[in-house]
Amino acid sequence: MLRCLSHPTLATPGVASGRADAPRPWPAALAAAAADTPAPSPPPAASPQAAPGSQPTPLLRVLYIEDNPVNTLLMTAMFERLPGLVLRCECDPRQGVAAALAEPPALLLIDIQMPGLDGYQVLNLLRNDPATHAVPAIAVSANAMPQDVARGQAAGFADYLTKPLGLQRLRSALRAVLPDWSPEPPASGASGH
């Protein structure tokens, strides 16, 4: 289940512009970024792998704070291939902070270069609030120099992903910070033979 908010460009599936009079195809990078694995079926509301009589495992919520609509589209396409996760996107850093405080997610993905508040300021605000103090955060940035990565790690990001981001690298980072998440789609029922 995907829920991306605050981007008018996400209004029309398959086009980068929400304006009906000027649709543009999604960038080729959208298909390339997500092409290294086939898309699974949409995830159920809860994991069907729960043992009989036990509570089903809820989906894990991830909040992506990113001001660039193309990057949001790319991340959305990748999350379509990651079962068991619900992605919410906020394009304004202040709205992202408010969303995280209102409903703390299992994980934060935070762009570094944003107007108004940069990713370090966003992380600082969230670390200083008890509701989000312990929520793991991963930086997502085009700044790929070793000193940029070191600064992100020193600031308290659990990982530092550089753009362009591939699905395998994202899956690996998510697996490391979300111990209750399995990146594999649930088995489609056990055989009774």
Q: Across residues 111-128, what is the average pLDDT?
A: 97
Confidence of residue 95 (pLDDT cuts 50, 70, 90): very high
Q: Check residue 186 and report its DSSP letter.
A: P
Amino acid at site 127:
R
Instruction: Quote the CA–CA distance of 58 and 165 in Å, as a whole number.
Output: 27
Tell which wins on pLDDT, 105 or 38: 105
Contact (Cβ atoms closer than 8 angstroms) between residue 93 and residue 126 = no
Tokens of 104: 């703390």
Tell which wins on pLDDT, 142 or 14: 142
| pLDDT number for residue 100 | 98
**Beta strands at 57-58 and 46-47: parallel, antiparallel or unpaired:** antiparallel
Tokens 């299992």 belong to residue: 106
Structural domains in the chain plus CATH codes: 2-12+26-36+57-177 (3.40.50.2300)
Torsion of CA 18, 24, 27, 31, to 10 degrees: 80
Q: Across residues 170-189, what is the average pLDDT?
A: 82
Q: Across residues 19-42, what is the average pLDDT?
A: 40
Residue 183 has pLDDT above 80, yes or no: no
Terminal CA-CA length for the chain:
33
Q: Across residues 154-169, what is the average pLDDT?
A: 96
